[in-house]
Amino acid sequence: MLSNFEMELQDFEIRQIRKFDSIWKIKFGGSISSVPIVEDNTIYFGAWDWYVYALKAKDGSVKWKFKGDGSFVLGQLLDNGIIYAGSYNGTFYAIDAATGKELWRFRAGDQIFSVPCSHRNSVYFGCKNGFLYCLNKRTGKELWRFRTGDCIASSPVIYKDSVLIGSFDGYLYQLDAMNGKEIWRFKTGGEIYNSYPFTLYGNVLYFSSFDNYLYAIDLNAKRVRWRFKTGEYGNAGCPLATDKEVFHGSRDGIMYAIDKETGEEIWRFKISISELIATLPVLSKGILYFGAGDHNVYALDQETGKELWRFRCGGPVYEGLTMSDGILYIGSYDCHMYAIEIKTSKEMWRFVTSTSQQSELPPPYESFDFVVKKTISEEEAEENEKYGFDISQTLRDEYSVKSEYSFKSEYQTRSEYR
């Protein structure tokens, strides 16, 4: 390790890696991050092992499984007997929900990190290449596409005859669902990154941005009703709205209860460690359920935020949470689908995907690339080769995963990057 004196002699710069670059570089594994769909005693979900599964709800046995050409990272759509699913290899599938047979496929321009939605005869999804695609549900033929200003890692939602989508360019777009023409856009202060469709309650859309705010937007008046500030690391959770409250989990590890009319905080609950909360909460009979990055699923009192119980999984629980007939179905990064009885919090069964190898997760903070610029002589080059020592590589190894906050703390007395 270099001494402080040697560090001062180096000509170096700090270059910030663009946010979210790591989410496009996932590694193979059997993790589950999609929200399971429960219908007709069957559970449907995709996994990172390239499969879409259909399980019997009573015991978790396999009805069928469909193998695609890449990981199914986010949730799927079940519409009129057809499963619609986008893969990380850029292929969008229509699958018969009864048999697991492929009906058609569409090749998009890049990775798909978007839960699809449907309207009339069309299905919609976003893509890393910045396009929102609209396809014919029956044939898979492209009807139109709309290009935003950056990558899309956002799930569309239908409002009347329009479709809403967020983009890394910081805009929320409202488009005509029939022809894709832009109706309106709203600018936030950061990237919009939602793994599950944002919440509509009446004419109000509740959505978050990486500017650390949760927004309540009146879509009729095209104005902000209120915005609520969360902690650091941005916002990527999906809020749940009721008659009185909005429940929202954030990347700062806090579940917030917010007054739906005023945007004022009612209560907050901090999970056991500083890990992100990205699930869409589930509410049933006065109890709020949600999963978190600390491997736990929590049950809280709706009115007070008091913890009632928690269930421990073997890995983080982000998007994968659904309730049906008193059973909580939980998809975890530990490669298991769990069935939990909510009255007792007891496990009924668990199912493991085709591999128990967990997929790699990006950290919830921004990382930095440490670059050393140094002109060396031929003698120094020979020394480096002789001893196998490279200053630039050493510094990159030491600091490449430092967060913005830890870097400021360690080098605030000498760095101009404050």
User: If you ran DSSP here, which 8-state letter would residue 396 be given?
Assistant: H
pLDDT tens digit sequence for 80-125: 999 999 999 999 999 999 999 999 999 998 999 999 999 999 999 9
Average pLDDT, the chain: 84
Distance CA 73, CA 67 (A): 13
CA distances from 44 to 273, 311, 396, 397 (A): 31, 22, 43, 41
Element of type H or E holding 312: strand 307-312
At residue 273, the pLDDT reads 76
At residue 74, the pLDDT reads 84
Query: Computed from CA positions of residues 308, 314, 317, 323, in that sequence, does the dihedral angle turn out positive or negative?
Result: negative
- Whether residue 114 contacts residue 153, with contact meaning beta carbons closer than 8 Å, is answered with yes
- Of the two residues 320 and 49, the one the predictor is more confident about is 49
Query: What's the one-letter identity of residue 392?
Result: S
In the structure encoding, which two tokens stand for residue 116, read together? 């699809």
Cα torsion 369, 370, 375, 380 to 10°: value is -120
- Whether residue 277 contacts residue 251, with contact meaning beta carbons closer than 8 Å, is answered with yes
- Number of Cα atoms under 13 Å in the Cβ half of residue 146: 26
Query: Is pLDDT of 20 > 60?
Result: no
Task: Enumerate domains of the chain plus CATH numbers.
Answer: 4-17+366-411 (no CATH), 29-352 (2.130.10.10)
pLDDT tens digit sequence for 137-171: 999 999 999 999 999 999 999 999 999 999 999 99
CA distances from 50 to 11, 307, 394 (A): 45, 36, 36
At residue 275, the pLDDT reads 81
Element of type H or E holding 56: strand 51-56
pLDDT tens digit sequence for 198-228: 899 999 999 999 999 999 999 999 999 999 9
Q: What is the pTM of this model?
A: 0.82
